[in-house]
Amino acid sequence: MAKLYIVPTPIGNLDDITIRAVRVLSEVDFILAEDTRTSSVLLKHLGIEKKMYAHHKFNEHATVGLVADNIAQGRSAALISDAGTPGISDPGFLLVRACLEAGIEVETLPGATAFVPALVQSGFPCDRFCFEGFLPQKKGRNKHLQSLASEPRTMIFYESPFRVVKTLEQFAEVFGPERMAAVSRELTKKFEQTVRGTLAEVADYFREHTPKGEFVIVVAGLPKPGKNMDTESEEEKMSDMENSELKEQSRHSFRLWAEFRAFMRDRFSLEDDKASQDEVAANISKGTEFRGVNLWVLICATMVASLGLNVNSAAVIIGAMCISPIMGNW
């Protein structure tokens, strides 16, 4: 079944294309490109010859229906932009929606997107962020910025080299000149650069250095106010006190238990009076030596026992038995 493929393309370094993207571009029936002249350079680099059609913000409203009809008739298509992932600050949303409404399967390949490396290398939190893309150039621009003044998440913006200084100055006015920012340009290219500092500092830098290339501006979110002990609620203070008391009670109980175990071990342990294995072996060995007293007692007990047997006297035999224990374990 034919489908629409969303294929990300490199944002600067052509080697960043994925193997899967090359395969898809080679297999589809036709390619929709934001700018066929720009995309033809990439396809030539990859050795792909495929029919391309222009699909950009000036004609997408009029062509999405026609494209969806072609795919529905069994012709697979790939949508690419000049750089990055289609639909991210580039045409793509309208076509994807039209295909889904027509019951056409849409498959999106993972790949390059400019804001991801800029965000990760900014040094700001990446767990929560908001992507704003290109801000409105005129109508609603200031109102939109004001709505972001208290945004706690890391914010990401795209900007052209011709407006980047003005944008940074506006950011400093709305967010405050001390708000931290990281401005990346020419990502993945030879002259890639990231300037970090306060909004006032990065604005000054690009006033002195002519901006070149496409820009990604990453702005830190509004910092959370520090916890002030003077303004703590009574509930928080009581909760802290209760937690401290519980911890102290736990420590006291543990100390009592440890002392009780030490007392029981000291008073009732059988280990202290237990002879060692070496001592037991020595005593056994000593008790079985046939010399000195042991030897004479043995001879005496043997003679008495023999006499008792000869005279058939139980008393004499018992007497011999009474003598023999003196020899120990023999």
List, in sequence order, every beta strand (DSSP E) within the chain.
4-6, 30-33, 52-54, 77-80, 106-108, 129-134, 154-159, 180-185, 193-198, 215-219
By CB atoms closer than 10 A (0-12, 13-18, 19+), residue 26 is middle
Handedness of CA 128, 130, 133, 135 (dihedral sign): negative
Tens digit of each residue's pLDDT (9 = 90 or more) over 142-155: 999 999 999 999 99
pLDDT band at 232 (very low <50, low <70, confident <90, very high): very low
The CATH number of 4-108 is 3.40.1010.10
- How confident is the prediction for the chain on average, in pLDDT? 86
pLDDT band at 87 (very low <50, low <70, confident <90, very high): very high
Nearest-angstrom CA–CA distance, 94 and 63: 10
Q: Is residue 288 scored above 70 in pLDDT?
A: no
Amino acid 322: pLDDT: 75
Question: For residues 328 and 267, which has the higher predicted lDDT (pLDDT)?
Answer: 267
Amino acid 71: pLDDT: 96
Amino acid 268: pLDDT: 59
Question: For residues 257 and 123, which has the higher predicted lDDT (pLDDT)?
Answer: 123
Q: Is-above-0.75 flag for pTM?
A: no
Q: Give the SS3 label for residue 196.
A: strand
The CATH number of 115-219 is 3.30.950.10
Q: Is residue 120 scored above 70 in pLDDT?
A: yes
Tens digit of each residue's pLDDT (9 = 90 or more) over 94-105: 999 999 999 999
Domain boundaries, the chain: 4-108, 115-219, 288-327
Q: What percent of the chain has pLDDT over 70?
A: 81
Cα 90 to Cα 9, 14, 171, 254, distances in angstroms: 12, 19, 24, 65
